[in-house]
Structure 1
Amino acid sequence: MGESPFNLSFGTEAVIPVDVGVPSPRVINFNEQINGDGLRANLDLLEEAREESRIRVAAYKQKVSHYHDLKIRPREFRAGDLVLRKAAISQLKKVGKLSPTWEGPYRVKEIIRPGSYKLETLGEHQLPHAWNSKNLRKYYQ
């Protein structure tokens, strides 16, 4: 964000008790009148600092989203493609860790909408419900 949460909340930087006890330029040059004027000026500029912070956060989120979208490859299948489906989704009872994670191959019979497919076995027996593309993967012979 470029600002500390304390600064965004109260309009000034925090001074921890250890800094007050140690002679530092910040403590030595302390003037109550100048400090009061500076605090009032900081409070006047607080909304602007918050808005700049919001803009930085939005730009950061946009960059992260763009990077994520570059790395994601959509899974699209055409009618007739051979696919495997996740075994854990189709099994009612939880099985052991050594069981296969994918079942198949199955053939894509119909595209209901992008990302949703009707499948059939290689013996042309249609499966009862549609399958989402996140639970399918391409089968290579």
Structure 2
Amino acid sequence: MTPKEGTAATPFHLVYGGEAVVPVEVGVESERILGYDEDNAERRQLELNLIDEKRAKAAARLMAYWQRMKQNYNKRVIPRAFQVGDLVWKKVKLVGNVSKLQAPWVGPFKVIKKLRSCAYYLEDQEGRQLE
């Protein structure tokens, strides 16, 4: 049987085209068990034909959810732009056995060139350019 219209389909339903019946439900006279008819292959085939549409709807809902999440995240992001001559700190990826009290930043570094893609060329205090 298919879930009622307007309810979200479970992952099992999206994969197999029908809802699972747990062993406990087999002995209990539920609506799903009473409505089951082994000879109703026509209705089952119709359900399987509609499963692609249900998968597409689920994918569209997921994409809309991701878009909302992205918009909410980007609302809180504060864009930063640096100019040539600004002093900046560089975040370091900590690898290996590192103390949690060790600073995750190194620097300061001087911005010597700004690219259009918001990337920067930096140099340290001795005038050596970073790679």
TM-score, normalization: structure 2?
Answer: 0.71
Q: Which has the higher strand share?
A: 1
Out of 45, 57, 60, the residue aligned to residue 40 of structure 1 is 45
For the residue of structure 1 that corresponds to 2:113, the secondary structure is strand
Question: Partner residue of 1:80?
Answer: 85
Q: C-alpha distance in 1, partners of 2:100/2:16?
A: 53
Which ranges in structure 1 are unaligned for 5 or more consecutive residues? 131-141
* Alpha-carbon offset, residue 43 of structure 1: 1.5
Q: C-alpha distance in 2, partners of 1:111/1:75?
A: 13
* Alpha-carbon offset, residue 112 of structure 1: 4.0
Are the structure 2 counterparts of residues 120 and 109 from structure 1 closer, same or farther at C-alpha, using a change threshold of 3 Å? farther
* Contact preservation (8 Å) 1:76, 1:115: no
Q: How many corresponding residue pairs?
A: 123
Question: Partner residue of 2:64?
Answer: 59
* Alpha-carbon offset, residue 37 of structure 1: 3.6
Q: Deviations over 1:58-114 (max 9, x none)?
A: 21122222222223233321112222234x46xxx9765444433333332222441
Structure 1: which amino acid aligns with 2:119? G
Question: Partner residue of 1:134?
Answer: none
Task: Quote the RMSD (CA, aligned, Å).
Answer: 3.0
For the residue of structure 1 that corresponds to 2:81, the secondary structure is coil
Higher relative contact order (CA 8 A, sep 6+): 1
For the residue of structure 1 that corresponds to 2:114, the secondary structure is strand
* Alpha-carbon offset, residue 119 of structure 1: 2.5
**Structure 1 position 27 matched with structure 2 position 26:** no
* Alpha-carbon offset, residue 127 of structure 1: 2.4
